Chain A
Amino acid sequence: MTLLKLTDVVKRYGDLTAVDGVSLSVDRGELLCLLGPSGCGKSTTLRTIAGFETPEEGTVELAGDDGLEDVTDNPPNERDTSMVFQDWALFPNKNVLENVTFGPKMHGVEREERRSRAYEMLDVVEMTDHAEAAPTDLSGGQKQRIALARSLALDPDLLLLDEPLSNLDRRLRETMQLELKSIHEQLGTTMVYVTHDQDEAFTLADRIAVVDDGAIQQVGPPETVYTDPDALFVESFLGTSNFVDARVASTHGSRATIEFPFASRFETSVEDTVAAGDEITASLRPECLSVTTEAVRTDGATRSREGLRFEATVDSRLHRGSRYRYELIAGDTSLVTHRRIADRLSVEPGDVVSVRCDSTDITLFDDDGRRIR
């Protein structure tokens, strides 16, 4: 059941278009992550949902008593959304309990009831011992929990989180991510979560919406977005990959032969929009490159349906803690792959190796970043 629906939302600041036609729908109970680099418009979108920004075009609808209601022009205090801010925004002149009871107090809830509700939420975030503390005496992680408890005390339909963990150190962040996930499962509150950290998005999200330049590039469950990207931006933003400039050698029907700079070709089916001579980009995920020391068959560059097969020279091998990182040079192209220590390759810099990449693991994008295979 849809809880939130954005339709063609546009938000401009003078000449700058921060949100450029965003449409999104969020189901009750799900956790949707808005993932994207800094400045891509994800925070502005969140603030528009909360009511701090009014869009120039488009509508924001929230589920009410009789289906979706248009709340585009409603101020924040008239929407059933609650926001957890990036630097938590705890009221410094009130103690923890007063902070958490603030929402219910503004809604006219009786003193006893709002206190018990507050303690309930403090229990969920495991901070009941700190009820009398002043916010300035708390650590970052503790403040984050209080901010969460404060927002949840209102039992909002929709919880909005604006990069709430970005001010915490890495280890604390990872702990809090798991706690947030378990709170989500425990309470079932619908959440929209903004982050630039893909690991965070992968840990938390039921669905990820990848945002770039004010627009949503792709929405889907984490695995889908990772393995089946619609656009070059999505592919490059999630994880790391080897991007190789390739060329369409020829086409026949819906199949094309793709030529790679290290004199290797393979044949595959592509979108109709592709023509011979087109410059395209291929993405070869490091984890999909298999490396052996067998020599390549002497008929050299192969035309194969199975994928790519080519020779490369090992340029460097770096020990990175739990993994080895190998840099391979094929022709003028540099490719990276990793291996766990236990699975390390028995190669030295200078060795010639043969590299294979199955065609199912190769993703192709045209000049405009659109997926063509």
Chain B
Amino acid sequence: MLSDRTATATFRLAYVAVFVFLLAPVVVVIATSVSATSTVSFPPDGLSFHWYVALFTSEQWTRAIRNSLVVAAGTTVFATALGVLGAVGTRRIDGRISDLIAGLSVVPLLVPGVVLGVTLLVFFSELGRQQELWTIVAAHSLWATPLTYSVVRATLARYDWQLRDAALDLGATRVRAFREVVVPNVRAGIAAAALIAFVVSLQEFVMTLFLSGRGTRTVPVVAWNSLRNSLDPLVSVTSTLLVVAVLVVLVAVGAAVGLDRVARDTQ
């Protein structure tokens, strides 16, 4: 048997290795995006932001960025709305039925992305509508809605509904009670759900690959197509932007929960 010291040292080495493994892509991608040369190499030869400039002069990429943002915005609004409505609707339904609905809403997440992409491609082309942005929003919402639904459901479950009862008891109408006492305390959870939907849509790739066409490709799809051919520094740049965007959103989610408290204290 290994001595305790050796075991601990090996363990430490192992998890550090995994940590490096997990983060290496992010580091490498960011580093190569600021390379001064025209090839993708790590470590980069010289530092420059000229590839970022190049990105915004590329029509293909700027259209892709626009598509990504439009689709993400659409998904956020749609998936969050469905999730909130669904969570409010199932709040008072107990036990088995609401678990069943939750289970049903999660099923799309279990299906492989390829299969979903292919199925929806066939479906939309049978309807004569293919490669349109709204079809991509619909597909992304399939994956985002179960997430927004469960986040909002958890938020509503954590909320103390006695507060609303107290408001009613003190004379508020149902609408006013909801506005004054439920919404402010549930806002953070809904914001978190919306941000999750945004992130899911931004990085969704497999379904979008099948559903998008020349004018409607999103950033991950353009990156993929580019990667099939060669290593393009612009892919580094967009990847970095994607990572940064996601990180910003993550921080926002964390802050949304805490921001409420800050807002309360400063009032």
A and B touch in the complex (CB under 8 A): yes
If A52-B165, A85-B162, A106-B176 touch, whether A93 touches B170 (CB-CB below 8 Å) is no
User: Do B170 and A134 touch across chains, with their CB atoms under 8 A apart?
Assistant: no
User: Do B171 and A93 touch across chains, with their CB atoms under 8 A apart?
Assistant: no
CA distance A49 to B176 in the complex (A): 22
Which of the residues B166, B184, B265 comes within 8 Å of A83, measured between beta carbons? B166
CA distance A87 to B134 in the complex (A): 48
User: Do B171 and A87 touch across chains, with their CB atoms under 8 A apart?
Assistant: no
Q: Is A50 an interface position by the 8 A CB rule?
A: yes
User: Do B169 and A83 touch across chains, with their CB atoms under 8 A apart?
Assistant: yes
Q: Is B264 an interface position by the 8 A CB rule?
A: yes
User: Do B165 and A89 touch across chains, with their CB atoms under 8 A apart?
Assistant: yes
Chain B residues with CB under 8 A of A83: 165-166, 169
B259 to chain A, nearest CB (A): 13
User: Do A89 and B171 touch across chains, with their CB atoms under 8 A apart?
Assistant: no
CA distance A81 to B172 in the complex (A): 13
Task: Considering the complex, give the chain B residue whose CB is closest to the CB of A81.
Answer: B169
User: Do A103 and B170 touch across chains, with their CB atoms under 8 A apart?
Assistant: yes
Task: Considering the complex, give the chain B residue whose CB is closest to the CB of A102.
Answer: B170
Q: Is B250 an interface position by the 8 A CB rule?
A: no
User: Do A76 and B169 touch across chains, with their CB atoms under 8 A apart?
Assistant: yes
User: Do A89 and B172 touch across chains, with their CB atoms under 8 A apart?
Assistant: no
Q: Is B185 an interface position by the 8 A CB rule?
A: yes
Which of the residues B163, B180, B260 comes within 8 Å of A89, measured between beta carbons? B163
Interface residues of B in 103-158 (CB under 8 A from A): none
Task: Considering the complex, give the chain A residue whose CB is closest to the CB of B260.
Answer: A93
User: Do B171 and A107 touch across chains, with their CB atoms under 8 A apart?
Assistant: yes
Q: Could you give, for residues 53-77 of chain A, a 1 whenever the CB lies within 8 Å of some chain B CB and a 0 otherwise? A: 0000000000000000000000111
Which of the residues A75, A87, A92, A154 comes within 8 Å of B170, measured between beta carbons? A154
Which of A52, A89, A134 is packed against the most chain B CB atoms within 10 Å? Answer: A89
Q: Is A82 an interface position by the 8 A CB rule?
A: yes
Q: Is A91 an interface position by the 8 A CB rule?
A: yes
Q: Is B167 an interface position by the 8 A CB rule?
A: yes
Q: Is B10 an interface position by the 8 A CB rule?
A: no
Q: Is A5 an interface position by the 8 A CB rule?
A: no
CA distance A113 to B264 in the complex (A): 25
Q: Could you give, for residues 158-194 of chain B, a 1 whenever the CB lies within 8 Å of some chain A CB and a 0 otherwise? A: 0010110111111111001000110011000000000
CA distance A75 to B174 in the complex (A): 10
Chain A residues with CB under 8 A of B181: 91, 93
User: Do B264 and A82 touch across chains, with their CB atoms under 8 A apart?
Assistant: no
User: Do A89 and B166 touch across chains, with their CB atoms under 8 A apart?
Assistant: yes
A117 to chain B, nearest CB (A): 13
If A103-B170, A106-B171 touch, whether A93 touches B264 (CB-CB below 8 Å) is yes
CA distance A95 to B265 in the complex (A): 9
B213 to chain A, nearest CB (A): 47
Interface residues of A in 132-153 (CB under 8 A from B): 134, 150-151
Chain A residues with CB under 8 A of B176: 106
Chain B residues with CB under 8 A of A89: 160, 162-163, 165-166
Chain A residues with CB under 8 A of B165: 52, 76, 83, 85, 89
Top 6 nearest A-B pairs (CB, nearest first) are A106-B171, A103-B170, A89-B166, A93-B184, A89-B162, A76-B169
Sample of 7 more A-B contacts, CB < 8 Å, known A106-B173, A154-B171: A89-B166, A91-B166, A92-B163, A92-B185, A93-B184, A102-B167, A102-B170
Residues of chain A whose beta carbon lies under 8 Å from any beta carbon of chain B: 50-52, 75-77, 81-83, 85, 87, 89, 91-93, 95, 102-103, 106-107, 134, 150-151, 154
Residues of chain B whose beta carbon lies under 8 Å from any beta carbon of chain A: 160, 162-163, 165-173, 176, 180-181, 184-185, 260, 264-265, 267
A-B residue pairs in contact (CB < 8 Å), sample of 19: A75-B168, A76-B168, A77-B172, A83-B165, A83-B166, A83-B169, A87-B160, A89-B160, A89-B162, A92-B185, A92-B264, A93-B184, A93-B260, A95-B267, A106-B172, A106-B176, A107-B171, A150-B170, A154-B170
